Chain A
């Protein structure tokens, strides 16, 4: 005997395809769930075959749950400040860390080259920019991505051995992460500036700022950054391009201990002024905080969750939890956005920096709806901010238990980018970011929105298919 279930079907209709039919069914009073259909995997047959192998696989879903659970339970705490060479694992004597996937001098863009020159001068390995450039190009300097040392750096992201770095500890899993201290806006090393003024500031940060902050942090017994990010999201930050609330919260947390630090009051005051005058100071903490969380989720066998998205100004690279140390790269794109007066898209460097780690963790561009004022900075209308965030739920596995978006009824931020979902839907992660001038040292020329190149995900799904398609 043939049994037909739920017939005539109760409930609504999922309409995949023609909007005309969706409209006409709505007109008839039906509850229509409209799917904005795109050919899966940009219509590429070989990718669709891989997707068919990988979708609906409970082993992969389970691995992803494990990765997400590790990410969600991670507990990043700012525990201190150290010297890069000593604090960061695997730091070589003549090594410079940089943002994004691996790169050689020959392929570096303007801002990254400028930052490398600046770092060489700062370290005293050369005494003029010309000599620094010569040194940089000769192969005497070892370049290594921050991400391969549990570190992250905004824009050029250059870290040199002497630089002070924040040390964060994931109290749940024990892993650490690192980041330099934010230098502020204008002519700064991370945008490739290396003038005397820049180097002076770096020296002051090393000699005065770092020791004072270090003591205050130590006195505090560690600052819980995860709850600070959660609060900042409720105060209009998305902790990538807007960090005003986060910076304020940080000051609030530090001040009681700063007053106890045994240093000249003038220095302490200068430190506070420095942090206070730089809305982005917290960026160099939100980045390593989520880096510590994501690193805990990396290396889970069979997990298709993205754990790194980073750019070096030439290439965009991603890493996937279950695919070990492979980078999947594509050319970095030009950021679309609002330019400061006097600048245009022609001045822009391709997308650069490790700061897309925030989007990888489901904040930044993914949490734009939490930071509606940001549309004034990156362009668009308030609805766009909400739309961008909502769209990201289509490519993520779950919603964050801790980071929530007030205007979406405190819905958790979209968390756990699944490469299968990105390839299936063709929806690319939404990153909002600063725009660097393509010439070294000019600085930020605007801010806007950018996506990773599709290629990264295409390469990743192919590699993932090779590794796991047969179910093992």
Chain B
């Protein structure tokens, strides 16, 4: 049995090459015996007639009309052929453009309409970010929302909508994530491994990942949530989704949760969920004092007091190996002695951070040691600095805070923005210890240590002119695989005269040792 179909499309113009190629494609369709696709010129009409088509329509067709004639052994082959023809003649954006250029899209929906993407990374100014995120969700994309200054209402709306659709909304104000091995935002190149992380804090996450990587273990997924996820309003939508995923993820053996302390109403549900899970979990609620117990009722939840401890505990659980801390007591003592020799005259401590979480951790650590530190992000009102440009006694500034980044790049993108302040602090007679962080990874500055090294050298020169010593301490958050090169970056800084540590807790510990050795534990308050 032979099936035939003739379709004439009046006033349809197509390039002959396109049509020839199309005819060939149609002929290759299974069960198609013969096919003709072309403009209704005399020659083409003859060919179609030879295929056995007779119709008045064919006779009156002109060279402006398209004829499609298909002969096949099965009816569905003809349907098939027609589908192919329709698709290729009316299909939208054609593939493989003749001139190859990196395609740049004007809008998110335009990019989404091409298909092929699974997630949208959004870093536009906050006022527009919710709109873009909404469009991404509508297009069925997960969202990594780097932008900050998104309202809580928008955050709740987006996260609820995402949850309904089964899509993640990481953020707003989500600095870092590692998803399926791909680092989003400011992300380090970490080994893949068995530890899965859900984190509300960008640099906090980077610090934990970097230490885990340094210890030789790796990450399965690192899901960011944004800083407000565990608030009462948001209710931990992304955190719960993330932890549920890690629980079911075959590549994850140990879960880690890093966040500011959650709202009490969220906290109970959260701990209950973690207790119900099968996998062990390390929880670090930054700034919260860890009780004696250190474990939840079920014993599955371990509480860590700081980022390094969270990384170490996760490492222990994943590998079964015992490891106390990144730096031994002796190593720290030795470092302290070495730095002390440089300080000679003593003096106040000044910290200039690009990572907000790290700054916060340092404040917490020093407070635990009984040292009061002024800061623009201090929770203790007495220690809060109103003018972030000023310093009093011991001061630690988060320079990634809004005040400094309004209309300017974040210090992780431009570490140089800290340099004038750094040099000014170095020029003050009553200052003896300078501390700063250097964050490596994708998305960060290409040579942050190089920039800070110049500042360290300049500070050294200034102090030499002043005839005073200065302790310069750097916390370096990064992995061997990072594009900047961890070892090279560390070497550049130590060559310039800074003591480089790869744990923020250890650096805070070092600072506290120096301050205590100078005898001044509690500086008088303003």
Contacts and interface: CB of A to CB of B under 8 A. Distances in A.
A14 interface: yes
Interface stretch (B110-118, B307-315, B381-389): B110-118
Contact of A25 (B90, B102, B132, B182): B182
Interface string A25-39: 101101101111111
Given A37-B124, A56-B138, A408-B97, A226 B13 contact: yes
Nearest to B15: A410
Interface in B311-361: none
B341 to A, nearest CB: 40
Contacts of A24: 183, 187, 442-443, 483
25 contacts: A5-B165, A8-B180, A8-B181, A9-B141, A10-B180, A14-B136, A17-B146, A18-B146, A18-B443, A21-B184, A24-B483, A27-B483, A31-B116, A33-B111, A33-B117, A35-B104, A35-B105, A35-B108, A36-B105, A224-B64, A227-B13, A401-B12, A408-B99, A409-B94, A409-B97
A326 B112 CA distance: 34
**A: contact size bracket:** 35 or more
B15 A25 contact: no
Contact of B116 (A11, A21, A386, A409): A11
A46 to B, nearest CB: 14
Given A2-B166, A226-B64, 6 more contacts: A2-B241, A9-B179, A16-B108, A18-B443, A37-B124, A38-B106
B172 to A, nearest CB: 12
B526 interface: no
B121 interface: yes
Nearest to A224: B64
A256 interface: no
Given A2-B166, A34-B105, A410-B18, A39 B128 contact: yes
Nearest to A234: B15
B96 interface: yes
A220 interface: no
B103 interface: yes
A411 interface: yes
A13 interface: yes
B43 interface: no
Interface string A380-397: 000000110011011100
A307 B119 CA distance: 36
Contact of B168 (A7, A73, A394, A395): A7
B123 A14 contact: no
Nearest to B442: A24
B157 to A, nearest CB: 13
Contact of A401 (B90, B101, B181): B90
A12 B99 contact: no
Contact of B118 (A10, A399, A424): A10
B244 interface: yes
Interface string A402-443: 101011111100000000010011010000000000000000
B168 A14 contact: no
A11 B442 contact: no
Interface in A105-124: none
Contact of A4 (B13, B94, B166): B166
A59 interface: no
Contacts of A9: 118-119, 141-142, 179-180
Contacts of B117: 11-14, 31, 33
B236 interface: no
B107 interface: yes
Contact of B105 (A5, A394, A410, A424): A394
A230 B13 contact: yes
Nearest to B483: A27
Interface of A: 2-18, 20-21, 24-25, 27-28, 30-31, 33-40, 43, 48, 52, 56, 73, 75, 172, 224, 226-227, 230, 234, 386-387, 390-391, 393-395, 398-399, 401-402, 404, 406-411, 421, 424-425, 427
Contact of B123 (A18, A43, A406): A18
Interface in B188-240: 189, 221
B124 A16 contact: yes
B480 interface: no
Nearest to A10: B118
A279 to B, nearest CB: 24
A469 B179 CA distance: 39
B89 interface: yes
A394 B107 CA distance: 8
B85 interface: no
Interface residues of B, number: 71
Given A5-B166, A21-B443, A28-B182, A14 B245 contact: no
B93 A411 contact: yes
B400 interface: no
A14 B112 contact: yes
Contact of A34 (B64, B104, B132): B104
Nearest to A22: B121
Contacts of B245: 4, 7
A33 B443 CA distance: 17
Contacts of A38: 106
A19 to B, nearest CB: 10
A43 B185 CA distance: 25
Contacts of A421: 107
Contacts of A424: 107
A425 B147 contact: no
Contacts of B136: 14, 16
Nearest to B39: A227
B111 A30 contact: no
B227 to A, nearest CB: 19
* Most chain A CB within a 10 A radius of its CB, from B108, B117, B166: B117
Contacts of B187: 24
Nearest to B110: A394
Contact of B93 (A6, A399, A404): A399
Contacts of A230: 13
A2 B167 CA distance: 10
Contacts of A20: 413, 443
A472 B343 CA distance: 76
Given A14-B141, A21-B184, A425 B166 contact: no
A292 to B, nearest CB: 13
Interface in B72-103: 89-90, 92-94, 96-99, 101-103
A25 B442 CA distance: 8
Contacts of A172: 11
A409 B146 contact: no
B17 interface: yes
A408 B94 CA distance: 9
A171 to B, nearest CB: 8
B166 A8 contact: no
A395 B241 CA distance: 37
A8 B221 contact: yes
A408 B131 CA distance: 32
B185 to A, nearest CB: 7
Contacts of B511: none
B125 interface: yes
Contacts of A43: 128
A314 to B, nearest CB: 30
Contacts of B118: 6, 9-13
Contacts of A21: 121, 123, 146, 184-185, 443
Contacts of B106: 35-36, 38, 391, 394-395, 425, 427
B191 to A, nearest CB: 14
B122 interface: yes
